[in-house]
Amino acid sequence: QKNVGILAIEIYFPPTCVQQETMEAHDGVSKGKYTIGLGQDCMAFCTEVEDVISMSLTAVTSLLEKYGIDPKQIGRLEVGSETVIDKSKSIKTFLMQIFEESGNTDIEGVDSTNACYGGTAALFNCVNWVESNSWDGRYGLVVCTDSAVYAEGPARPTGGAAAIAMLIGPDAPIAFESKIRGSHMSHVYDFYKPNLASEYPVVDGKLSQTCYLMALDSCYNRFCNKYEKLEGKQFSVADGDYFVFHSPYNKLVQKSFARLLFNDFSRNARLLKKKLAPFSNLSGDESYQSRDLEKATQQVAKPLYDAKVQPATLVPKQIGNMYTASLYAAFVSLIHNKHASLTGQRVVMFSYGSGLSATMFSFQIREGQHPFCLSNIATVMNVGGKLKSRHEFPPEKFVETMKVMEHRYGAKDFVTSKDCSLLSPGTYYLTEVDSMYRRFYAKK
């Protein structure tokens, strides 16, 4: 099969959000810490009527409807998520309700989990299936769905929530360059969820930042090496038109792109910029700790960041970290902003999941045919409209919601308020969890 990749995308995020500026005041931190320090504008969150299952039901149903896909045409469904609702029953099986109605139960795939990386694992599974001998000619469907919530403290403003559905097949407008992937996986305790009674992770913030950047370096070097073997020339930032990063918060994305330039500089003396010359003798470890290096590279990178990264930052800045959906929400932003001029461009993607697993891979953007073309994808996703129609909650109400959700997590025998007044038509919502922990949803 040729040009296997993403044919269509739909994104869903809760209409409920809290402004980071109001959170700064509420939390009593210095003004600018979340908005400039973390680079975040706003944070979406699930109220008691939404969860990762309802969000993914909404995203999948909407994708099938809006692109005119018959549920019988789906042959594989893979879900990436790190939000545990059940330790055995996959989120994928909940989504089967959509397909059973049409009589299609012949759908391979289950859930993939490793922090924010599960969505990428699910995506690779689908792409590999379409490229393989076992492909039966039908579409693959990938769903990334997460609700990112943190205990009170410095990590709380880096929460978020969303679900993204992606249709996979040949002749895609967003085609994988499968030969030039670079991965880095290792055993660390930077962010993990060992307490099964709580939805909140245990997180070593500083370690997670360093792990992210070390994984980035390692993936980039492998990615470059594979490119060089294949193309016979060196890869540098100039060879990628856009760079899209997993986005826990925007400041880390700024640092990441600067880090790629530092890598180019370290690998190739010809690129030696006067401003980076003083850092040429730093050891690897020292380079992660040096504030001067960080500042110098970010300064050198600024114009390139504005051109190659900034167009892919809107949704993560507005929603927050969406864990498995975060990288793809960044990519959604790029389509939203640049769909008219992306044909022929190379987009480099960096996926990171704590624990840790990471991969750098790339897309080649092609013309595509309606409904599978970028302009239609942008229209269907309607990112601008969805962002505009949100409802801002005051921080107190957000904190109150988090408290309710703490009690609801892992609980049984309750009915929700069923208040779907803020949800748009077609949105699924949770109505009840019965005495056997069975979950029930309705569609507005």
Binding site for ligand ACO (CB under 6 A): 30-33, 36-38, 116, 154-155, 158, 191, 203, 205, 208-209, 212, 248, 251-252, 321, 354
Catalytic pick among 116, 211, 224, 373: 116
Residue whose CB is less far from ligand ACO, 174 or 360: 360
Residue whose CB is less far from ligand ACO, 35 or 376: 35
Per-residue DSSP letters for 185-207?
A: E----SEE---TT-SSPEE-HHH
For CA atoms 93, 315, 401, 159, the dihedral sign is: positive
**Residue 251 CB, nearest approach to ligand ACO (Å):** 6
Could you tell me how far CA 63 lies from the centroid of its own chain? 17
Quote the tokens at residue 23: 């959170």
Could you tell me how far CA 258 lies from the centroid of its own chain? 20
Q: Which residues of 214-232 are buried (b: 16+ CB within 10 A; e: fewer)?
A: bbbbbbbbbbbebbeeeee
Quote the tokens at residue 236: 């540098």
**Is 208 assigned a ligand-binding role in the annotation?**
yes
Catalytic pick among 199, 211, 224, 246: 246
DSSP alpha helices (H): ranges in 321-431?
A: 326-338, 374-381, 383-388, 395-408
Active-site annotation holds for 46 = no
Residue whose CB is less far from ligand ACO, 75 or 355: 355
Residue, CB closest to ligand ACO: 37
Active-site annotation holds for 187 = no
H or E segment and range at residue 104: none
Per-residue DSSP letters for 371-391?
A: TBSHHHHHHHH-HHHHHHT-E
Catalytic pick among 82, 177, 199, 294: 82
**Residue 249 CB, nearest approach to ligand ACO (Å):** 6
**Residue 258 CB, nearest approach to ligand ACO (Å):** 11
Active-site annotation holds for 116 = yes
**Residue 163 CB, nearest approach to ligand ACO (Å):** 17
Residue whose CB is less far from ligand ACO, 227 or 305: 305
Query: Which residues are known binding-site members for CoA?
Result: 208, 251, 255
Residues within the annotated binding site? 208, 251, 255
Active site residues: 82, 116, 246
